[in-house]
Amino acid sequence: MPTRNDIRNVAIVAHVDHGKTTLVDAMLKQAGAFAAHQHLDDRMMDSNDLEREKGITILAKNTAVKYHPKDGGAPITINIIDTPGHADFGGEVERGLSMVDAVVLLVDASEGPLPQTRFVLRKALTARLPVILCINKTDRPDARIDEVINETYDLFLDLDADEDQIEFPIVFACARDGVASLTKPENGTVPADSDNLEPFFSTILEHVPAPVYDEDAPLQAHVTNLDADNFLGRIALLRVEQGELRKGQTVAWIKRDGSIQNVRISELLMTEALTRKPAEVAGPGDICAVAGIGDIMIGETLADTENPIALPLITVDEPAISMTIGTNTSPLVGKGGSGKGADAKSGAKVDRKVTARQVKDRLDRELIGNVSLRVLETERPDAWEVQGRGELALAILIETMRREGFELTVGKPQVVTREINGKTHEPVERLTVDVPEEHMGAVTQLMGIRKGRMDNMSNHGSGWVRMEFVVPSRGLIGFRTEFLTNTRGTGIAHSIHEGYEPWFGTLTTRNNGSLVADRSGVVTAFAMTNLQERGVLFTDPGTEVYEGMIVGENSRSDDMDVNITKEKKLTNMRSSTADVAESIVPPRKLSLEQSLEFCREDECIEVTPETVRIRKVVLDAKERGRTASRAKKG
């Protein structure tokens, strides 16, 4: 069959923070994608604000470089898909792999294969894609290149790779310095026999298959991603599998339900470096973008009008975590950060979105581009159950919505259970923990409380221990903060979905109760001074609070209603302690992710553009007391 030797399609997959985006940056620079005078940021592919803040890739993105072979041959276009390393964004990884013919597996020369490495590699092997192994960060002082290569071979065998897939080429790289080599360097050094990525480019050309097509086959193009443009409207990113796609052409649009509609391609765009440029034609193997189809969805097919043949729909893993997202129902709805004119202070008017219709429309829009998300109706008309792959994926969605001006009430994350052979099963995770030896006992005790069982433990002789646990997904909700506290910020933990096991029973993950405001008002320093010995406070003096809002964590296991708005009474009598200075312990500020971890079953989170507050689901203290007494009586 004919092949297109002028093009290669490859995805870069790896665990979080192993250097995918840095490697793509170096490839773009060395392929001459930018002019000499252009100012270039680090991690150019992480264009989203949240990606830059968190230092992770959230959305799969594609770029293209024109590589000029050293032998003087014709330039070759290398289409590169930069995929997320976090398993919570598995839908993005699966879409990325559907566009390419091979993958570059990036592994840290010190950390070696980690849970997300297993996750992305499993997806690539299932898709029968050839693999190029790239050992990155060879210059790390604690690099252990030989052991990491052996661990990677073990991982391939563990995932039932066939002989062709195990016979992979190995490239050694320092992506930060833009250097790659086929010769193994000494541990802790940059490859010395090269000063650029030329060996990496030549390995891609040699081992990534060129797209194969049938000259007589009708048009088939697969929609793998969606984007939007202020002038062109919705843009569909797709890979042309067979035939040619031309600007102005009329094609058959095969929808998810099987219906077919003829549409016209009003604009055809091809990617060069980080920009899309107009094109006239896209052939087999090309990754392009088309405009002019308003309601097109991911997984659908553009085909020949006379002989429309659909390509298989993109399938993703089932959701494991759910949470309820609804409109803001607190007394401070629409009032800003402090509850009193925060908008006036900032000098900018925030376009607040507080109605159920606005929230539902936004969730429906998210479903268009996020294939791993599901939105289900609940008993209430102003709240919906949103299911996703993990806690982080749902937290990113909420953070994005609050930055767009939405005010939300978010429930505690729950697991999505399954009925198997008449018994309830819940999702379990494989957790890999790297900790210094002295914290091993604390981590083992922490996992014991969460009903995790240890599967494996290894000591590299460097003072660090790696432990693997199988633990219910419920047990990892609220785990990260406590884990970092117990390991004094030194521990590293990563998890991946492992499957379903019978219900583990009751889990107690938070021992301390909450300090709950018993009335509305403004927090005073006097009240905080008296309350800080009761637990850890979350609020600053001057913050507006309301009845039922959680203002701190109790030092005991039960909840306590407190008056945090109490003022010091002024009298004309001199006090013997009047001149004693009282100091306030700085309050603990919880981020959105930490608030989701802290939340209990009877609590929820109020999210606004300015602030995140934790509150009781039932605000009235008397009503909460009646509910508790009824629950005790059964």
Task: Indicate left, alpha or beta for 426 from its phi (over 0: left) and psi (-120 to 50: alpha).
Answer: beta
CA distance 123 to 121: 5
Torsion (CA) 161, 164, 167, 169 in degrees, nearest 10: -110
Question: Which tokens sit at 524?
Answer: 């005073």
* Residue 86 assigned ligand-binding role: no
Torsion (CA) 433, 438, 442, 444 in degrees, nearest 10: 50
Helix residue spans in 59-197 (DSSP H): 90-97, 115-126, 145-158, 163-166
* Residue 146 assigned ligand-binding role: no
Q: Alpha-carbon torsion 484, 485, 487, 488, what sign?
A: positive
Give long-range contacts, CB 8 A cutoff, 24+ apart: 182-185: 184/145, 184/146, 185/138, 185/145
* Residue 423 assigned ligand-binding role: no
Rounded to 5°, the CA angle 266-290-102 comes to 160
Residue 202 backbone phi and psi in degrees, to 5: -65, -35
In SS3 terms, 181-197 reads as ECCCCCCCCCCCCCCCC
Distance from the first to the final alpha carbon of the chain: 72
* Residue 68 assigned ligand-binding role: no
Residue 190 backbone phi and psi in degrees, to 5: -80, 140
* Residue 138 assigned ligand-binding role: yes
* Residue 255 assigned ligand-binding role: no
* Residue 451 assigned ligand-binding role: no
* Residue 579 assigned ligand-binding role: no
* Residue 19 assigned ligand-binding role: yes
* Residue 137 assigned ligand-binding role: yes
User: Percent helix, strand and coil across the chain, each rounded to 5?
Assistant: 25, 30, 45
Helix residue spans in 330-468 (DSSP H): 342-346, 356-369, 391-403, 440-449
Residues forming the annotated binding site?
17-22, 136-139
| Binding-site entries for GTP | 17-22, 136-139
